[in-house]
Structure 1
Protein backbone atom coordinates (compact mmCIF):
# COMPACT_ATOMS: atom_id res chain seq x y z
CA UNK A 1 0.00 0.00 0.00
CA UNK A 2 1.10 3.56 -0.66
CA UNK A 3 1.13 6.06 2.14
CA UNK A 4 -0.86 9.21 1.60
CA UNK A 5 1.60 11.17 3.71
CA UNK A 6 4.72 9.87 1.98
CA UNK A 7 7.00 12.44 0.37
CA UNK A 8 8.42 9.80 -1.97
CA UNK A 9 7.04 9.74 -5.54
CA UNK A 10 4.79 6.70 -5.93
CA UNK A 11 5.96 3.64 -7.86
CA UNK A 12 3.28 1.77 -9.80
CA UNK A 13 3.31 -1.92 -10.63
CA UNK A 14 2.22 -2.98 -14.10
CA UNK A 15 0.36 -6.23 -14.71
CA UNK A 16 1.15 -8.86 -17.33
CA UNK A 17 -1.24 -11.77 -17.80
CA UNK A 18 -2.06 -13.20 -14.35
CA UNK A 19 -1.64 -16.95 -14.02
CA UNK A 20 0.40 -17.22 -17.23
CA UNK A 21 3.84 -16.46 -15.79
CA UNK A 22 5.16 -19.89 -16.82
CA UNK A 23 4.64 -19.09 -20.51
CA UNK A 24 5.90 -15.50 -20.35
CA UNK A 25 8.85 -16.28 -22.68
CA UNK A 26 6.44 -17.53 -25.37
CA UNK A 27 4.10 -14.58 -24.86
CA UNK A 28 7.09 -12.23 -25.18
CA UNK A 29 8.00 -13.83 -28.52
CA UNK A 30 4.41 -13.37 -29.73
CA UNK A 31 4.29 -9.71 -28.66
CA UNK A 32 7.77 -9.02 -30.03
CA UNK A 33 6.71 -10.52 -33.38
CA UNK A 34 3.57 -8.34 -33.39
CA UNK A 35 5.66 -5.23 -32.73
CA UNK A 36 8.19 -6.09 -35.44
CA UNK A 37 5.46 -6.76 -38.03
CA UNK A 38 3.56 -3.59 -37.00
CA UNK A 39 6.62 -1.37 -37.22
CA UNK A 40 7.88 -2.88 -40.46
CA UNK A 41 4.42 -2.75 -42.03
CA UNK A 42 3.75 0.87 -41.11
CA UNK A 43 7.30 1.93 -42.04
CA UNK A 44 6.90 0.23 -45.42
CA UNK A 45 3.60 2.05 -46.03
CA UNK A 46 5.29 5.38 -45.20
CA UNK A 47 8.28 4.60 -47.43
CA UNK A 48 6.12 3.61 -50.40
CA UNK A 49 3.88 6.66 -50.18
CA UNK A 50 6.87 9.00 -49.78
CA UNK A 51 8.88 7.58 -52.69
CA UNK A 52 6.07 6.97 -55.20
CA UNK A 53 4.92 10.29 -56.66
CA UNK A 54 1.77 8.67 -58.07
CA UNK A 55 0.61 8.10 -54.47
CA UNK A 56 0.87 11.75 -53.46
CA UNK A 57 -2.91 12.03 -53.38
CA UNK A 58 -5.19 12.93 -50.43
CA UNK A 59 -6.25 9.33 -49.78
CA UNK A 60 -2.65 8.16 -49.44
CA UNK A 61 -1.55 11.24 -47.48
CA UNK A 62 -4.20 10.38 -44.89
CA UNK A 63 -3.04 6.75 -44.98
CA UNK A 64 0.52 7.89 -44.26
CA UNK A 65 -0.82 9.89 -41.27
CA UNK A 66 -2.53 6.72 -40.02
CA UNK A 67 0.66 4.68 -40.45
CA UNK A 68 2.77 7.29 -38.63
CA UNK A 69 0.30 7.43 -35.74
CA UNK A 70 0.25 3.62 -35.46
CA UNK A 71 4.05 3.55 -35.54
CA UNK A 72 4.29 6.07 -32.69
CA UNK A 73 1.60 4.24 -30.71
CA UNK A 74 3.58 0.98 -30.97
CA UNK A 75 6.74 2.73 -29.79
CA UNK A 76 4.93 4.27 -26.79
CA UNK A 77 3.72 0.91 -25.41
CA UNK A 78 6.57 -1.40 -26.45
CA UNK A 79 9.05 -0.69 -23.59
CA UNK A 80 6.68 -1.56 -20.75
CA UNK A 81 4.87 -4.47 -22.42
CA UNK A 82 8.05 -6.23 -23.53
CA UNK A 83 9.79 -5.24 -20.27
CA UNK A 84 7.27 -7.25 -18.26
CA UNK A 85 7.48 -10.40 -20.37
CA UNK A 86 11.22 -10.28 -21.10
CA UNK A 87 12.71 -8.99 -17.84
CA UNK A 88 9.78 -9.23 -15.42
CA UNK A 89 10.21 -5.47 -14.96
CA UNK A 90 6.89 -4.41 -13.45
CA UNK A 91 7.83 -1.17 -11.69
CA UNK A 92 7.28 2.22 -13.30
CA UNK A 93 7.74 5.63 -11.72
CA UNK A 94 4.87 8.09 -11.70
CA UNK A 95 6.74 10.44 -14.07
CA UNK A 96 7.38 7.69 -16.64
CA UNK A 97 3.79 6.50 -16.24
CA UNK A 98 2.37 9.99 -16.86
CA UNK A 99 4.56 10.48 -19.94
CA UNK A 100 3.41 7.15 -21.34
CA UNK A 101 -0.30 7.78 -20.74
CA UNK A 102 0.06 11.25 -22.32
CA UNK A 103 1.43 9.75 -25.54
CA UNK A 104 -0.99 6.80 -25.58
CA UNK A 105 -4.10 8.96 -25.20
CA UNK A 106 -2.88 11.78 -27.46
CA UNK A 107 -1.97 9.37 -30.25
CA UNK A 108 -5.26 7.48 -29.86
CA UNK A 109 -7.27 10.69 -30.28
CA UNK A 110 -5.09 11.76 -33.22
CA UNK A 111 -5.76 8.38 -34.85
CA UNK A 112 -9.48 8.87 -34.30
CA UNK A 113 -9.22 12.23 -36.08
CA UNK A 114 -7.27 10.69 -38.97
CA UNK A 115 -9.96 8.03 -39.41
CA UNK A 116 -12.56 10.81 -39.50
CA UNK A 117 -10.55 12.66 -42.18
CA UNK A 118 -10.33 9.45 -44.21
CA UNK A 119 -14.12 9.11 -43.99
CA UNK A 120 -14.42 12.70 -45.23
CA UNK A 121 -12.06 11.84 -48.09
CA UNK A 122 -14.27 8.91 -49.15
CA UNK A 123 -17.40 11.07 -48.77
CA UNK A 124 -16.07 13.79 -51.10
CA UNK A 125 -14.68 11.23 -53.58
CA UNK A 126 -18.01 9.40 -53.90
CA UNK A 127 -20.64 12.08 -53.21
CA UNK A 128 -18.97 15.05 -54.88
CA UNK A 129 -16.17 13.73 -57.13
CA UNK A 130 -16.00 16.83 -59.36
CA UNK A 131 -14.94 18.97 -56.39
CA UNK A 132 -12.52 16.40 -54.92
CA UNK A 133 -9.32 18.08 -56.11
CA UNK A 134 -10.49 21.57 -55.12
CA UNK A 135 -11.74 20.52 -51.65
CA UNK A 136 -8.83 18.31 -50.56
CA UNK A 137 -5.89 20.51 -51.49
CA UNK A 138 -2.43 19.94 -49.98
CA UNK A 139 -2.52 23.08 -47.76
CA UNK A 140 -5.94 22.08 -46.44
CA UNK A 141 -4.76 18.55 -45.66
CA UNK A 142 -1.73 19.96 -43.80
CA UNK A 143 -4.01 22.25 -41.77
CA UNK A 144 -6.27 19.30 -40.96
CA UNK A 145 -3.27 17.32 -39.72
CA UNK A 146 -2.15 20.22 -37.51
CA UNK A 147 -5.65 20.65 -36.08
CA UNK A 148 -5.86 16.92 -35.29
CA UNK A 149 -2.50 17.01 -33.51
CA UNK A 150 -3.30 20.16 -31.54
CA UNK A 151 -6.68 18.76 -30.51
CA UNK A 152 -5.24 15.41 -29.37
CA UNK A 153 -2.30 16.94 -27.50
CA UNK A 154 -4.23 19.91 -26.10
CA UNK A 155 -7.07 17.88 -24.60
CA UNK A 156 -4.71 15.42 -22.88
CA UNK A 157 -2.10 17.97 -21.78
CA UNK A 158 -3.80 18.91 -18.45
CA UNK A 159 -4.34 15.32 -17.29
CA UNK A 160 -0.75 14.37 -16.30
CA UNK A 161 -0.48 17.56 -14.21
CA UNK A 162 -3.79 16.84 -12.47
CA UNK A 163 -2.71 13.25 -11.76
CA UNK A 164 0.70 14.38 -10.47
CA UNK A 165 -0.97 16.48 -7.73
CA UNK A 166 -2.90 13.53 -6.30
CA UNK A 167 -1.95 11.49 -3.26
CA UNK A 168 -1.94 7.73 -3.92
CA UNK A 169 -2.92 5.43 -1.09
CA UNK A 170 -5.24 2.78 -2.57
CA UNK A 171 -2.54 0.38 -3.69
CA UNK A 172 -0.19 0.73 -6.62
CA UNK A 173 -1.08 -2.12 -8.98
CA UNK A 174 -2.31 -1.17 -12.45
CA UNK A 175 -4.33 -3.73 -14.40
CA UNK A 176 -2.45 -3.33 -17.70
CA UNK A 177 1.13 -3.49 -18.99
CA UNK A 178 1.01 0.24 -19.69
CA UNK A 179 -0.47 3.36 -18.08
CA UNK A 180 -3.94 4.75 -18.80
CA UNK A 181 -5.55 7.82 -17.25
CA UNK A 182 -8.59 6.01 -15.88
CA UNK A 183 -6.35 3.37 -14.27
CA UNK A 184 -3.98 5.77 -12.51
CA UNK A 185 -6.87 8.00 -11.47
CA UNK A 186 -8.59 5.15 -9.61
CA UNK A 187 -5.53 4.63 -7.40
CA UNK A 188 -5.70 8.17 -6.00
CA UNK A 189 -7.14 8.83 -2.56
CA UNK A 190 -7.75 12.47 -3.51
CA UNK A 191 -11.00 13.82 -4.96
CA UNK A 192 -10.98 12.70 -8.60
CA UNK A 193 -14.28 14.32 -9.61
CA UNK A 194 -12.63 16.89 -11.90
CA UNK A 195 -10.53 14.22 -13.63
CA UNK A 196 -13.50 11.92 -14.06
CA UNK A 197 -15.74 14.62 -15.56
CA UNK A 198 -12.98 16.02 -17.76
CA UNK A 199 -11.99 12.53 -18.94
CA UNK A 200 -15.59 11.81 -19.92
CA UNK A 201 -15.78 15.16 -21.74
CA UNK A 202 -12.58 14.36 -23.67
CA UNK A 203 -13.88 10.93 -24.73
CA UNK A 204 -17.22 12.34 -25.89
CA UNK A 205 -15.66 15.30 -27.74
CA UNK A 206 -13.11 13.12 -29.56
CA UNK A 207 -13.98 9.45 -29.98
CA UNK A 208 -17.71 10.00 -29.51
CA UNK A 209 -17.95 12.92 -31.94
CA UNK A 210 -15.57 11.37 -34.49
CA UNK A 211 -17.38 8.02 -34.57
CA UNK A 212 -20.74 9.79 -34.96
CA UNK A 213 -19.45 11.87 -37.89
CA UNK A 214 -17.90 8.79 -39.50
CA UNK A 215 -21.25 6.99 -39.23
CA UNK A 216 -23.02 10.01 -40.72
CA UNK A 217 -20.55 10.17 -43.62
CA UNK A 218 -21.19 6.51 -44.45
CA UNK A 219 -24.96 6.99 -44.31
CA UNK A 220 -24.55 9.72 -46.95
CA UNK A 221 -22.12 7.57 -48.95
CA UNK A 222 -24.58 4.66 -48.97
CA UNK A 223 -27.40 6.95 -50.04
CA UNK A 224 -25.30 8.21 -52.96
CA UNK A 225 -24.12 4.70 -53.93
CA UNK A 226 -27.65 3.29 -53.91
CA UNK A 227 -28.71 6.01 -56.35
CA UNK A 228 -26.16 4.77 -58.91
CA UNK A 229 -27.91 2.79 -61.63
CA UNK A 230 -25.05 0.44 -62.53
CA UNK A 231 -24.46 -2.40 -60.09
CA UNK A 232 -20.82 -2.59 -61.19
CA UNK A 233 -20.31 1.09 -60.37
CA UNK A 234 -21.96 0.59 -56.99
CA UNK A 235 -19.58 -2.25 -56.16
CA UNK A 236 -16.59 -0.23 -57.36
CA UNK A 237 -17.55 2.76 -55.19
CA UNK A 238 -18.14 0.66 -52.09
CA UNK A 239 -14.93 -1.30 -52.65
CA UNK A 240 -12.90 1.89 -52.18
CA UNK A 241 -14.33 2.14 -48.63
CA UNK A 242 -13.65 -1.43 -47.45
CA UNK A 243 -10.14 -0.75 -46.10
CA UNK A 244 -11.28 2.30 -44.19
CA UNK A 245 -14.30 0.51 -42.70
CA UNK A 246 -11.98 -2.27 -41.48
CA UNK A 247 -9.61 0.29 -39.93
CA UNK A 248 -12.54 2.02 -38.19
CA UNK A 249 -13.83 -1.25 -36.73
CA UNK A 250 -10.33 -2.36 -35.66
CA UNK A 251 -9.80 0.93 -33.81
CA UNK A 252 -13.17 1.85 -32.30
CA UNK A 253 -14.45 -1.59 -31.26
CA UNK A 254 -11.72 -2.42 -28.69
CA UNK A 255 -11.32 1.24 -27.65
CA UNK A 256 -15.00 1.73 -26.83
CA UNK A 257 -15.16 -1.74 -25.28
CA UNK A 258 -12.20 -0.99 -22.99
CA UNK A 259 -13.65 2.39 -21.96
CA UNK A 260 -17.01 0.78 -21.12
CA UNK A 261 -15.32 -1.96 -19.08
CA UNK A 262 -13.24 0.56 -17.11
CA UNK A 263 -16.20 2.82 -16.33
CA UNK A 264 -19.07 0.36 -15.87
CA UNK A 265 -17.60 -3.14 -15.74
CA UNK A 266 -16.50 -3.30 -12.13
CA UNK A 267 -17.69 -6.90 -11.83
CA UNK A 268 -16.10 -8.10 -15.07
CA UNK A 269 -13.19 -10.52 -15.03
CA UNK A 270 -9.75 -8.82 -14.76
CA UNK A 271 -8.54 -11.13 -17.52
CA UNK A 272 -11.17 -9.70 -19.88
CA UNK A 273 -9.89 -6.16 -19.19
CA UNK A 274 -6.28 -7.21 -19.73
CA UNK A 275 -6.93 -9.06 -22.99
CA UNK A 276 -9.14 -6.23 -24.31
CA UNK A 277 -6.31 -3.84 -23.47
CA UNK A 278 -3.83 -5.84 -25.55
CA UNK A 279 -6.27 -5.99 -28.45
CA UNK A 280 -6.77 -2.21 -28.23
CA UNK A 281 -3.03 -1.48 -28.23
CA UNK A 282 -1.60 -4.17 -30.51
CA UNK A 283 -4.19 -5.12 -33.13
CA UNK A 284 -4.87 -1.82 -35.02
CA UNK A 285 -1.15 -1.02 -35.68
CA UNK A 286 -0.65 -4.64 -36.75
CA UNK A 287 -3.70 -5.02 -38.97
CA UNK A 288 -4.00 -1.59 -40.64
CA UNK A 289 -0.95 -2.05 -42.93
CA UNK A 290 -2.06 -5.59 -43.75
CA UNK A 291 -5.64 -4.53 -44.60
CA UNK A 292 -4.52 -1.61 -46.77
CA UNK A 293 -1.87 -3.73 -48.48
CA UNK A 294 -4.43 -6.39 -49.35
CA UNK A 295 -7.33 -4.12 -50.34
CA UNK A 296 -5.54 -1.22 -52.08
CA UNK A 297 -4.28 -2.24 -55.51
CA UNK A 298 -1.74 0.59 -55.85
CA UNK A 299 -0.18 -0.12 -52.43
CA UNK A 300 -0.14 -3.87 -53.08
CA UNK A 301 1.54 -3.47 -56.48
CA UNK A 302 4.16 -1.10 -55.06
CA UNK A 303 4.95 -3.44 -52.14
CA UNK A 304 5.34 -6.32 -54.57
CA UNK A 305 7.83 -4.31 -56.63
CA UNK A 306 9.80 -3.32 -53.54
CA UNK A 307 9.99 -6.89 -52.22
CA UNK A 308 10.97 -8.38 -55.59
CA UNK A 309 13.89 -6.02 -56.16
Structure 2
Protein backbone atom coordinates (compact mmCIF):
# COMPACT_ATOMS: atom_id res chain seq x y z
CA UNK A 1 0.00 0.00 0.00
CA UNK A 2 2.82 2.39 0.81
CA UNK A 3 4.52 1.71 -2.54
CA UNK A 4 1.19 2.16 -4.32
CA UNK A 5 0.80 5.50 -2.59
CA UNK A 6 4.19 6.65 -3.84
CA UNK A 7 3.28 5.56 -7.39
CA UNK A 8 0.10 7.65 -7.19
CA UNK A 9 2.23 10.67 -6.40
CA UNK A 10 4.39 9.82 -9.42
CA UNK A 11 1.30 9.58 -11.62
CA UNK A 12 0.17 13.01 -10.51
CA UNK A 13 3.33 14.47 -12.01
CA UNK A 14 3.43 12.27 -15.13
CA UNK A 15 3.36 14.05 -18.45
CA UNK A 16 2.54 12.00 -21.53
CA UNK A 17 1.18 8.52 -22.22
CA UNK A 18 4.55 6.70 -22.20
CA UNK A 19 5.23 7.86 -18.67
CA UNK A 20 1.71 7.41 -17.38
CA UNK A 21 1.08 3.90 -18.78
CA UNK A 22 4.10 2.12 -17.19
CA UNK A 23 3.36 3.76 -13.85
CA UNK A 24 -0.22 2.49 -14.04
CA UNK A 25 1.05 -1.07 -14.61
CA UNK A 26 3.40 -0.74 -11.65
CA UNK A 27 0.52 0.59 -9.57
CA UNK A 28 -1.63 -2.44 -10.39
CA UNK A 29 1.21 -4.77 -9.44
CA UNK A 30 1.68 -3.03 -6.09
CA UNK A 31 -2.07 -3.06 -5.43
CA UNK A 32 -2.36 -6.80 -6.08
CA UNK A 33 0.75 -7.52 -4.03
CA UNK A 34 -0.65 -5.46 -1.15
CA UNK A 35 -3.81 -7.55 -1.06
CA UNK A 36 -1.94 -10.86 -1.18
CA UNK A 37 0.64 -9.83 1.42
CA UNK A 38 -1.97 -8.43 3.79
CA UNK A 39 -3.88 -11.71 3.85
CA UNK A 40 -0.82 -13.96 4.03
CA UNK A 41 0.76 -11.83 6.75
CA UNK A 42 -2.39 -12.05 8.83
CA UNK A 43 -2.59 -15.82 8.40
CA UNK A 44 1.10 -16.34 9.15
CA UNK A 45 1.51 -14.10 12.19
CA UNK A 46 -1.79 -14.54 14.00
CA UNK A 47 -1.71 -17.40 16.56
CA UNK A 48 -3.71 -20.38 15.39
CA UNK A 49 -6.26 -20.12 18.18
CA UNK A 50 -6.97 -16.43 17.34
CA UNK A 51 -6.43 -16.57 13.58
CA UNK A 52 -10.11 -16.43 12.54
CA UNK A 53 -10.67 -13.45 14.81
CA UNK A 54 -7.78 -11.47 13.34
CA UNK A 55 -8.71 -12.39 9.77
CA UNK A 56 -12.14 -11.01 10.59
CA UNK A 57 -10.59 -7.76 11.81
CA UNK A 58 -8.57 -7.50 8.62
CA UNK A 59 -11.60 -8.22 6.43
CA UNK A 60 -13.71 -5.66 8.28
CA UNK A 61 -11.02 -3.03 7.88
CA UNK A 62 -10.73 -3.78 4.14
CA UNK A 63 -14.49 -3.54 3.57
CA UNK A 64 -14.81 -0.37 5.63
CA UNK A 65 -11.98 1.34 3.78
CA UNK A 66 -13.45 0.26 0.42
CA UNK A 67 -16.77 1.84 1.38
CA UNK A 68 -15.43 5.09 2.79
CA UNK A 69 -12.60 5.90 0.38
CA UNK A 70 -14.80 6.67 -2.67
CA UNK A 71 -16.89 9.03 -0.56
CA UNK A 72 -13.74 10.83 0.53
CA UNK A 73 -11.86 11.10 -2.75
CA UNK A 74 -14.63 11.54 -5.36
CA UNK A 75 -15.26 15.20 -4.45
CA UNK A 76 -11.61 15.88 -5.26
CA UNK A 77 -11.99 14.26 -8.71
CA UNK A 78 -15.09 16.34 -9.39
CA UNK A 79 -13.37 19.48 -8.18
CA UNK A 80 -10.34 18.81 -10.36
CA UNK A 81 -12.51 18.26 -13.45
CA UNK A 82 -14.40 21.49 -12.76
CA UNK A 83 -11.21 23.44 -12.22
CA UNK A 84 -11.60 23.94 -8.48
CA UNK A 85 -8.41 21.99 -7.74
CA UNK A 86 -5.08 21.93 -9.60
CA UNK A 87 -4.24 19.02 -11.88
CA UNK A 88 -3.06 15.86 -10.15
CA UNK A 89 -4.96 16.55 -6.92
CA UNK A 90 -7.12 13.43 -7.26
CA UNK A 91 -4.09 11.17 -7.72
CA UNK A 92 -2.27 12.77 -4.82
CA UNK A 93 -5.28 12.20 -2.59
CA UNK A 94 -5.28 8.54 -3.69
CA UNK A 95 -1.62 8.32 -2.80
CA UNK A 96 -2.24 9.86 0.61
CA UNK A 97 -5.02 7.37 1.31
CA UNK A 98 -2.76 4.46 0.35
CA UNK A 99 0.00 5.73 2.62
CA UNK A 100 -2.53 6.14 5.42
CA UNK A 101 -3.69 2.57 4.81
CA UNK A 102 -0.10 1.35 5.09
CA UNK A 103 0.26 3.10 8.44
CA UNK A 104 -3.00 1.54 9.64
CA UNK A 105 -1.78 -1.93 8.63
CA UNK A 106 1.48 -1.39 10.47
CA UNK A 107 -0.45 -0.39 13.59
CA UNK A 108 -2.64 -3.48 13.22
CA UNK A 109 0.35 -5.81 12.84
CA UNK A 110 1.97 -4.25 15.92
CA UNK A 111 -1.00 -5.41 17.99
CA UNK A 112 -0.61 -9.06 16.98
CA UNK A 113 -0.05 -11.51 19.82
CA UNK A 114 3.40 -12.78 18.85
CA UNK A 115 3.36 -16.59 18.49
CA UNK A 116 5.83 -18.52 20.59
CA UNK A 117 8.84 -19.94 18.83
CA UNK A 118 8.75 -23.67 18.36
CA UNK A 119 11.51 -25.54 20.12
CA UNK A 120 13.53 -27.70 17.73
CA UNK A 121 13.41 -31.41 18.39
CA UNK A 122 16.28 -32.89 20.39
CA UNK A 123 19.02 -34.46 18.33
CA UNK A 124 20.30 -37.95 19.04
CA UNK A 125 23.42 -36.44 20.60
CA UNK A 126 21.30 -34.27 22.88
CA UNK A 127 19.21 -37.25 23.93
CA UNK A 128 22.35 -39.24 24.75
CA UNK A 129 23.84 -36.31 26.67
CA UNK A 130 20.63 -35.85 28.66
CA UNK A 131 20.51 -39.55 29.47
CA UNK A 132 24.09 -39.35 30.75
CA UNK A 133 23.26 -36.26 32.81
CA UNK A 134 20.22 -37.89 34.36
CA UNK A 135 22.24 -41.00 35.18
CA UNK A 136 25.43 -39.36 36.49
CA UNK A 137 24.62 -35.70 37.12
CA UNK A 138 27.46 -34.72 34.77
CA UNK A 139 26.31 -32.02 32.28
CA UNK A 140 29.57 -32.13 30.28
CA UNK A 141 28.06 -32.82 26.86
CA UNK A 142 24.68 -31.14 27.25
CA UNK A 143 23.98 -28.60 24.54
CA UNK A 144 23.78 -24.94 25.51
CA UNK A 145 20.02 -25.09 25.00
CA UNK A 146 19.65 -28.01 27.41
CA UNK A 147 22.06 -26.59 29.97
CA UNK A 148 20.46 -23.15 29.85
CA UNK A 149 17.06 -24.60 30.71
CA UNK A 150 18.52 -26.61 33.59
CA UNK A 151 20.46 -23.65 34.99
CA UNK A 152 17.44 -21.33 34.79
CA UNK A 153 15.32 -23.91 36.59
CA UNK A 154 17.95 -24.30 39.31
CA UNK A 155 18.21 -20.54 39.77
CA UNK A 156 14.43 -20.16 40.07
CA UNK A 157 14.26 -23.01 42.59
CA UNK A 158 17.27 -21.79 44.56
CA UNK A 159 19.35 -24.87 43.74
CA UNK A 160 23.12 -24.84 43.01
CA UNK A 161 24.07 -24.60 39.36
CA UNK A 162 24.70 -27.85 37.51
CA UNK A 163 28.46 -28.27 37.16
CA UNK A 164 30.73 -30.58 35.22
CA UNK A 165 34.10 -31.65 36.57
CA UNK A 166 36.84 -29.96 34.55
CA UNK A 167 38.98 -33.08 34.34
CA UNK A 168 42.34 -33.56 32.68
CA UNK A 169 43.42 -32.86 29.14
CA UNK A 170 44.35 -36.51 28.65
CA UNK A 171 40.75 -37.49 29.38
CA UNK A 172 39.48 -34.98 26.80
CA UNK A 173 41.83 -35.89 23.95
CA UNK A 174 39.39 -38.39 22.35
CA UNK A 175 36.63 -35.75 22.44
CA UNK A 176 38.52 -32.62 21.36
CA UNK A 177 36.83 -32.37 17.97
CA UNK A 178 33.42 -32.99 19.52
CA UNK A 179 34.02 -30.30 22.14
CA UNK A 180 35.08 -27.73 19.56
CA UNK A 181 32.33 -28.58 17.07
CA UNK A 182 29.61 -28.32 19.72
CA UNK A 183 30.91 -24.91 20.79
CA UNK A 184 29.90 -23.38 17.46
CA UNK A 185 26.24 -24.32 17.82
CA UNK A 186 26.26 -23.56 21.53
CA UNK A 187 27.60 -20.04 21.03
CA UNK A 188 25.06 -19.35 18.31
CA UNK A 189 22.29 -20.45 20.66
CA UNK A 190 23.59 -18.29 23.51
CA UNK A 191 23.76 -15.30 21.17
CA UNK A 192 20.15 -15.92 20.13
CA UNK A 193 19.05 -15.28 23.74
CA UNK A 194 20.22 -11.67 23.73
CA UNK A 195 17.29 -10.01 21.85
CA UNK A 196 14.71 -11.46 24.25
CA UNK A 197 16.87 -10.53 27.24
CA UNK A 198 17.14 -6.94 26.00
CA UNK A 199 13.40 -6.81 25.31
CA UNK A 200 12.63 -7.97 28.84
CA UNK A 201 15.11 -5.50 30.34
CA UNK A 202 13.54 -2.55 28.53
CA UNK A 203 9.97 -3.70 29.17
CA UNK A 204 9.69 -2.30 32.67
CA UNK A 205 11.05 -2.11 36.20
CA UNK A 206 9.27 -5.28 37.33
CA UNK A 207 11.03 -7.29 34.61
CA UNK A 208 14.35 -5.66 35.50
CA UNK A 209 14.03 -6.71 39.12
CA UNK A 210 13.26 -10.25 38.02
CA UNK A 211 16.41 -10.28 35.87
CA UNK A 212 18.47 -8.78 38.70
CA UNK A 213 17.29 -11.53 41.02
CA UNK A 214 18.49 -14.17 38.57
CA UNK A 215 21.78 -12.32 38.11
CA UNK A 216 22.41 -12.12 41.86
CA UNK A 217 21.77 -15.84 42.26
CA UNK A 218 24.09 -16.56 39.32
CA UNK A 219 26.83 -14.31 40.68
CA UNK A 220 26.67 -15.81 44.17
CA UNK A 221 27.13 -19.32 42.79
CA UNK A 222 29.41 -18.67 39.85
CA UNK A 223 32.04 -16.00 40.55
CA UNK A 224 34.26 -18.02 42.90
CA UNK A 225 37.08 -20.09 41.43
CA UNK A 226 37.95 -22.85 43.93
CA UNK A 227 41.65 -23.61 44.21
CA UNK A 228 41.24 -27.08 42.70
CA UNK A 229 39.41 -25.64 39.69
CA UNK A 230 42.19 -23.08 39.19
CA UNK A 231 44.79 -25.84 39.13
CA UNK A 232 42.80 -28.06 36.76
CA UNK A 233 42.02 -25.24 34.32
CA UNK A 234 45.59 -23.95 34.33
CA UNK A 235 47.07 -27.40 33.76
CA UNK A 236 44.55 -28.13 31.01
CA UNK A 237 45.53 -24.94 29.14
CA UNK A 238 49.24 -25.80 29.41
CA UNK A 239 48.63 -29.35 28.19
CA UNK A 240 46.57 -28.07 25.26
CA UNK A 241 49.25 -25.58 24.20
CA UNK A 242 51.89 -28.28 24.24
CA UNK A 243 49.57 -30.59 22.32
CA UNK A 244 48.92 -27.84 19.75
CA UNK A 245 52.63 -27.18 19.20
CA UNK A 246 53.19 -23.94 21.10
CA UNK A 247 56.67 -23.35 22.48
CA UNK A 248 57.73 -22.39 25.99
CA UNK A 249 55.93 -19.06 26.61
CA UNK A 250 58.81 -17.59 28.61
CA UNK A 251 60.67 -17.05 25.33
CA UNK A 252 58.22 -14.21 24.67
CA UNK A 253 56.14 -13.86 27.80
CA UNK A 254 54.36 -10.61 26.94
CA UNK A 255 53.29 -11.94 23.56
CA UNK A 256 51.58 -14.92 25.17
CA UNK A 257 50.01 -12.74 27.84
CA UNK A 258 48.63 -10.46 25.13
CA UNK A 259 47.21 -13.45 23.28
CA UNK A 260 45.48 -14.63 26.46
CA UNK A 261 44.08 -11.16 27.15
CA UNK A 262 42.86 -10.85 23.55
CA UNK A 263 41.26 -14.29 23.60
CA UNK A 264 39.56 -13.45 26.90
CA UNK A 265 38.82 -9.70 26.80
CA UNK A 266 37.45 -7.77 29.76
CA UNK A 267 33.73 -8.42 30.19
CA UNK A 268 33.23 -6.75 33.56
CA UNK A 269 35.53 -3.73 34.08
CA UNK A 270 35.00 -3.89 37.85
CA UNK A 271 35.78 -7.65 37.86
CA UNK A 272 32.45 -8.70 39.33
CA UNK A 273 29.24 -9.90 37.69
CA UNK A 274 27.44 -9.13 40.94
CA UNK A 275 28.69 -5.56 41.29
CA UNK A 276 26.27 -2.73 41.90
CA UNK A 277 27.18 -1.11 38.57
CA UNK A 278 26.44 -4.30 36.67
CA UNK A 279 23.16 -4.81 38.52
CA UNK A 280 22.14 -1.26 37.73
CA UNK A 281 22.77 -1.71 34.01
CA UNK A 282 23.94 -5.11 32.75
CA UNK A 283 23.39 -4.28 29.07
CA UNK A 284 27.01 -3.19 28.35
CA UNK A 285 28.26 -6.48 29.80
CA UNK A 286 25.75 -8.45 27.74
CA UNK A 287 26.87 -6.68 24.59
CA UNK A 288 30.55 -7.34 25.38
CA UNK A 289 29.75 -11.01 25.92
CA UNK A 290 27.83 -11.15 22.64
CA UNK A 291 30.70 -9.50 20.76
CA UNK A 292 33.17 -11.93 22.34
CA UNK A 293 31.09 -14.94 21.25
CA UNK A 294 30.67 -13.50 17.75
CA UNK A 295 34.42 -12.94 17.46
CA UNK A 296 35.09 -16.51 18.56
CA UNK A 297 32.72 -17.88 15.91
CA UNK A 298 34.45 -15.82 13.22
CA UNK A 299 37.93 -16.83 14.40
CA UNK A 300 36.96 -20.49 14.59
CA UNK A 301 35.62 -20.28 11.04
CA UNK A 302 38.89 -18.79 9.82
CA UNK A 303 40.99 -21.36 11.66
CA UNK A 304 38.89 -24.19 10.23
CA UNK A 305 39.41 -23.22 6.61
CA UNK A 306 42.02 -25.12 4.70
CA UNK A 307 44.68 -22.96 3.13
CA UNK A 308 44.29 -23.77 -0.55
CA UNK A 309 45.77 -20.74 -2.28
CA UNK A 310 49.25 -22.24 -2.48
CA UNK A 311 47.91 -25.24 -4.41
CA UNK A 312 46.96 -22.92 -7.26
CA UNK A 313 50.64 -22.56 -8.09
CA UNK A 314 53.17 -25.17 -9.07
CA UNK A 315 56.38 -24.92 -7.11
CA UNK A 316 58.27 -25.01 -10.42
CA UNK A 317 56.76 -21.61 -11.19
CA UNK A 318 58.85 -20.05 -8.43
CA UNK A 319 62.49 -19.13 -9.10
CA UNK A 320 64.91 -17.81 -6.53
CA UNK A 321 66.46 -14.44 -7.30
CA UNK A 322 69.87 -14.72 -8.96
CA UNK A 323 69.25 -18.21 -10.32
CA UNK A 324 68.65 -18.86 -13.99
TM-score by length of 2: 0.27
Return the structure number with greater relative CO, CA threshold 8 A, min gap 6: 1
The structure number with the bigger radius of gyration is 2
Please report the TM-score for the alignment, with normalisation by the length of structure 1.
0.28
